[in-house]
Structure 1
Amino acid sequence: MKSWLFLGIAIVAEVVATSGLKASEGFTKLWPSLLVIAGYAVAFYFLSITLKEIPVGVAYAIWAGLGVVLVALIGWLIYGQSLDAASVIGMVLIITGVAVINLFSKSVAH
């Protein structure tokens, strides 16, 4: 169960870091740049711990899928970026895929 918590921390840290990239303005602003570096360091550390229990393909699929959806939502909420119907449908499919992996895959340690 700890592995799933660690994966959640890795996802949140990666989302924070990726969202901070825009605010860093090409690493020209100090604090957002430091947030990006720290966020990715935390994300990769916790992802590496996660991989002791969860298969790399499953962990990465969940990490990447949820990361894409969360970054898109942050872009919409914070940066005012638009999401069209195709974007929303795609994100629903990603979330559905993550749910299918978690609920039905025999390669996932529950």
Structure 2
Amino acid sequence: MLAWVYLMGAIGLEVIGTVSLKFSNGFTDLKFSVLTLVMYGLSFWVLALTLKVLPISTAYAVWSGLGTAAVAIIGLVFFKEPMTALKGVFLLMIIGGVVGLKAISSES
């Protein structure tokens, strides 16, 4: 169970890194550029810790899927990006896939 907690932490760090990437203005803003690199580095480190327990296929799919969905939702809410019905359906498919992977996964 601790591996899943680590995985959620890795996802959070990756999301912070991605949002910081937007604010880095093409790596021209030093503080957000450094924050981006630090958050991505920490995210990969924590993801690597989860791979000691979780299968790579499950861990990476959950990490990338939930990170993608979270960043898309942040884009919609905070950056006023447009939402279409298809975008909503595909976001729900990503989240559903992650839930399904969690439901069938077994820690090894």
TM-score bucket (shorter structure)? over 0.9
Residue in 2 that maps onto 1:92: 92
Offset, 1:88: 0.7
Structure 2, unaligned stretches of length 5 or more?
Answer: none
Residue in 2 that maps onto 1:109: 107
- Relative to the length of structure 2, the TM-score reads 0.94
- Relative to the length of structure 1, the TM-score reads 0.92
Residue in 1 that maps onto 2:10: 10
Name the amino acid aligned to 2:49. Answer: I
Structure 1, unaligned stretches of length 5 or more?
Answer: none
Q: How many residues align?
A: 108
Provide the rounded CA distance (Å) in 2 between the counterparts of 1:47 and 1:24. Answer: 24
Which runs of at least 4 in structure 1 moved beyond 4 Å after TM superposition? none
Offset, 1:109: 1.7
Is the deviation greater in 47-56 or in 27-36? Answer: 27-36
1:34 aligned to 2:31?
A: no
Provide the rounded CA distance (Å) in 2 between the counterparts of 1:84 and 1:19. Answer: 21
RMSD: 1.3
